[in-house]
Amino acid sequence: MFKKVLVANRGEIALRVIRALREMSVKSVVICSEADKNNFYCGLADDSVCVGAAQAASSYLNISQIISAALVKKCDAIHPGYGFLAENHHFAEICASYGINFIGPSPETIALAGQKAEIIDLMKRKKIPVVPGSKGVVPSVKEAKAVAAAIKYPVIIKATAGGGGKGMRIVRSEKDIEQAFELAGAEAKNAFSNADLYVEKYIEAPRHIEIQIAADKKGKVVFFPERDCSIQRNHQKVLEESPSPQIGPKMRKKLGETACRVAKLINYTTVGTVEFLVSKDKFYFMEMNARIQVEHPVTELVSDIDLVKLQIALAAGEDLKLKQDDIKEICHSVECRINSEDENYMPSAGVIEKLILPGGPGVRVDTAMTSGSEISPFYDSMIAKIITYGRNRAEAIERMKRALMEMKIEGVTTNIALHQKILQDKNFADGCYTTDFIGLMK
């Protein structure tokens, strides 16, 4: 097992990793920017290092400073959390060159998983169901039009790198494809320093289903109960739950076994997520996320397995002791992402003047915010993740309604009202929702 781990992230995921390391009796060192150095979670690690100015490029994306911090503090591993450098294969390669363990898959696997056009082409060759689309990167509008004509509109243009809904445009006719191609490319270049795009058939109103997997270095892979991430806005997840209210045992088994096969095909190790689109009785591989996910708590609660500890242990070379039959669905769980945002759903910076967090039976809160914390314009605007669980879906939802009612935030605007509206919607209550749910919600 590792002796000391550098936590190369911020906020609630940094705190989540620090807590896991402490329970594993592993020393932790957390990095921070000038903007974050007084945040309380920095004092919960065994040590902290300020690596640069508030801008992410000067701190949380500053590879030389992060590696220097790890070497000076004599860390034998780095945990990247999610976002920032978590899926940067160059960073993983540099860690290895300095003898530092990267808590995640190999640089080669990260690189393949990050090139979405390439991994989809691989899955197609290996007979994994994929959405019809271009063979690799589409370099020009002319070729994008040719692909779209072949697979028929509507299509979706996607960035090959990154995620979070950036660099994506839905196109319903040829007259709109040129502008969409240019906008998606510009957004991808700005967000990921990579303007490469590919084109897929747009599946109308599917469900977005994720399968969490865990794999060791000997090739053993297991899967967990699925997460339904269909409730999205602008391709960004808003609310997740596990298990999905519309996935039965037969489909669950197919998805899980396919996810394990995907992991083996790309030599995946540690924990990760295979994402699928599900439409009626068909499913399509979408992408592989080579990191821990924002929504991992719902899987932890449903399975009663600590995914962060498991990730660290597997990265340290431990064998996967879990058997597939050991993974049970013991409850139902729902997660709401509470963000600071205005009435147009745009991120809103400011100081949280008052913060009262919910509690009681069946409620978990993942946050690094307190009263007086600042929502910085330099980083993501998420304030907290509220996760509830119950003996069944109805109980988990009722507990979430109570938790949202108990939560009080003053000083910044939030999306709590949106979550309350979702939970009151009849289609959500019935479990009858797809990725277009928010747009159709009355």
Q: Which of 227, 291, 337, 399 is catalytic?
A: 291
CA distance 400 to 49: 37
Average pLDDT value for the chain: 95
Continuous segment of H or E residues that includes residue 335: strand 332-339
Q: Which residues pair with 79 in a beta bridge?
A: 7
* Residues 382 and 83: beta-carbon distance below 8 Å: no
Domain 4-103, CATH number (from 3.40.50.1100, 3.40.50.20, 3.30.70.2660, 3.10.590.10): 3.40.50.20
Contacts of 81 (CB under 8 A, 6+ apart): 7, 8, 9, 10, 13, 14, 17, 291, 292
- The amino acid that residue 184 corresponds to is A
CB-hemisphere CA count at 13 Å for 87? 24
One of 3.40.50.1400, 3.90.960.10, 3.30.1490.20, 3.40.50.12780 is the CATH number of 132-201, namely 3.30.1490.20
Q: What is the rounded CA–CA span in Å between residue 331 and residue 227?
A: 13
pLDDT tens for each residue of 132-143: 999 889 999 999
Residue 191 has pLDDT above 90, yes or no: no
pLDDT at 312: 98
Question: What pLDDT sits at residue 441?
Answer: 85
**Per-residue exposure over 300-322, b if at least 16 CB sit within 10 Å of its own CB, e if not:** bbbbebbbbbbbbbbbbeeebeb
Q: Which of 377, 365, 376, 379 is nearest to 408 (CA)?
A: 365
What mean pLDDT is predicted for residues 241-268? 97
d(CA 41, CA 32): 10
pLDDT at 91 over 90: yes
Q: Where are the domains of the chain?
A: 4-103, 132-201, 207-440
Q: Name, in order, each residue with C-beta under 8 angstroms of 257's C-beta and a sequence gap of 6 or more.
A: 223
Q: Is it true that 132-201 and 207-440 share their CATH fold?
A: no
- Measured CA to CA, the distance from residue 109 to residue 313 in angstroms comes to 19
pLDDT of residue 280: 85
Give me the count of residues in the chain.
442
pLDDT value at position 4?
Answer: 98
Fold for the domain defined by 207-440:
D-amino Acid Aminotransferase; Chain A, domain 1 (3.30.470)
286 vs 258: CA distance, rounded Å: 12
Residues 209-240: pLDDT tens digits?
999 999 999 999 999 999 999 999 888 899 99
Question: Would you tell me how many other CB atoms lie within 10 Å of the CB of residue 149?
Answer: 12
| DSSP annotation string for 362-411 | TEEEE----TT-EE-TTS--EEEEEEEEESSHHHHHHHHHHHHHH-EEES
The 3-state secondary structure of 290-318, one letter per residue: CCCCCCHHHHHHHHCCCHHHHHHHHHCCC
Structure tokens, 296: 């991992």
pLDDT class for 162, splitting at 50, 70, 90? Answer: low
Hey, how many other C-beta atoms are within 10 angstroms of the C-beta on 134? Answer: 23
Q: What is the pLDDT of residues 413-441, one digit of tens each?
A: 999 999 999 999 999 999 999 999 998 88
Token pair of 165 as six digits: 């809904």
- 125 counts as catalytic: no
